[in-house]
Structure 1
Amino acid sequence: MTASAYEAAVLDFRRRKDEHFAAGRGPVDPAAFAGLSYFPPDEAWAFTVLLDPLPQADAGAEWTLETNTGETRTMTRIGQVQLPLPDGERTLLVFAPLGEERPERVFIPFRDATSGEATYGAGRYLDAPLDRQLGGDGALVRVDFNLAYHPYCAYGDGWTCPLPPRENWLPDAVTAGERLS
C-alpha cells in the first residue's frame, strides 16, 4: 500500500527533522541519537480553520507565558482557533512573537490527555502557517497536530521553554505528532 501525498509530506518533514538533530543542530547528543518517535500520520488531525482575531481594541495584546525555568516569555496573542476535535469543538489561543504585526506563522502551545504519558508532560508546540488570502485581517490557519513537537526542554536541561497557558489544555488525547519513545 502506498502512502498518500499527505502522509508522504508528513514523513518527509519528520525525516528532515531527524536529519537536523542527527547533524548536531538540535537539543540531543548526535552520537546517541537514533531518531524521534511519532504517532502514525493521520490526516484526521489536520485542520484548516479561520483565525478568530482579537477585537481591534485588543489587537496586539501582550500575553505572558510561564516557562519551565520559572522565567516568563511575553508574546503577542493574536487570536484563537476553534477546532473540531473528536470529542467536541475546542478553542486554542494563538500567539506570535512580539513585534510581528502580520506573522506568516503562529505559535500554538498546548497540553492534552497524552501529556505526561505518551508525550512530554509540559506539553507540545505547533507552528502553524497563516494563509491571508481572505484579505483584511482575516486569515486561515493550518493546525496540523501531526507536526506537533516537543520543546527542547523535553530533551535536557539548559533550555527555557514556554508552557502552554491553561486555556490551551485540551481534555482530549491528541494522538498525533511527536511522542515519547
Structure 2
Amino acid sequence: MSADWRETIRRRRAEKDDYFGEHPRSPIPDDEREAFEGLNYYPIDEDYRFVLPLHEHDDVEQVTVGTSTEGEREYHRIGEFRFEVDGEAVALQAYKADRDDDRLWVPFRDATGGEETYGAGRYLDLEPDDHRTDGGEWVVNFNEAYNPTCAYADRYECPLPPTENWLGVPIEAGEKTYR
C-alpha cells in the first residue's frame, strides 16, 4: 500500500462504489442499482491499523468453514495475529485457500455485527505486495474490511468467519451494512 494509505483507501472505496453502481457483474441486484448511491463506511481511523507479526502455526491445519448457503469450504489455518483493541487483547486466525498462496484471508465477526455491520461478518484480504513490510510484518488494516458478496444478494455463497474469529470487541472501521 502506498505511503499515504488513507488516500489509497479513499480511492479504492470510490472505485468500488463505481463498480457496484455501474458494472454488469456488480453484486448489487439489478433492480437496486439505479438507486445505489454508494456503500456505507466508517471514517478512516488510524487506531484500527496495525503492523503485526504473523505467529505461524507449527502444524498448519486444514479447517472446514461453513458457507452462507449451508455448504462448506476448506482452508488452511496458517497463523494468528495478536493485538489489542481498546485495551483488550484479541487474536485473529489467518487462512489460505491454498497452502502455496501468498495471500492471507482474515475473516472476522465483531461486536458491531448485525447492528452497524453485516451480521455474518466481514473480510480482510492481505496481499504480500500491499500488506507486508520489509521487516516481514503484516499491515492488518481494518479500514479495509469489506462485506462478502452475500451481504448484497442471496444468490452468492460466502464462507463464514469461523467462531475462533468472532471478536467480543467492536471494530468500528471498514464497510458498514449495505441496507
The answer for unaligned runs of 5 or more in structure 2 is none
Distance 1:109 1:68 in 2: 13
Matches within 5 A, 1:45-60: 45-55=48-58, 58-59=59-60
Q: How many residues align?
A: 169
1:88, CA displacement in angstroms? 1.3
Secondary structure at the aligned position of 1:11 is classed as: helix
Distance 1:132 1:42 in 2: 20
Is the aligned partner of 1:13 residue 2:17?
no
Q: TM-score, normalised by structure 1?
A: 0.86
**After TM superposition, where is structure 1 displaced by more than 3 Å over at least 4 residues in a row?**
none
C-alpha contact 1:40 1:176 (8 A) present in aligned 2: yes
Matches within 5 A, 1:68-79: 68-79=68-79
* Alignment counterpart, residue 36 of structure 2, candidates 29, 33, 36: 33
C-alpha contact 1:87 1:172 (8 A) present in aligned 2: no
Is the aligned partner of 1:162 residue 2:165?
no
C-alpha contact 2:9 2:143 (8 A) present in aligned 1: yes
Distance 1:15 1:165 in 2: 30
* RMSD between aligned residues: 1.8
**What code does the residue aligned with 1:12 have?**
R
Secondary structure at the aligned position of 1:37 is classed as: coil
Identity of aligned residues (%): 39
The answer for unaligned runs of 5 or more in structure 1 is none
Distance 1:160 1:75 in 2: 15
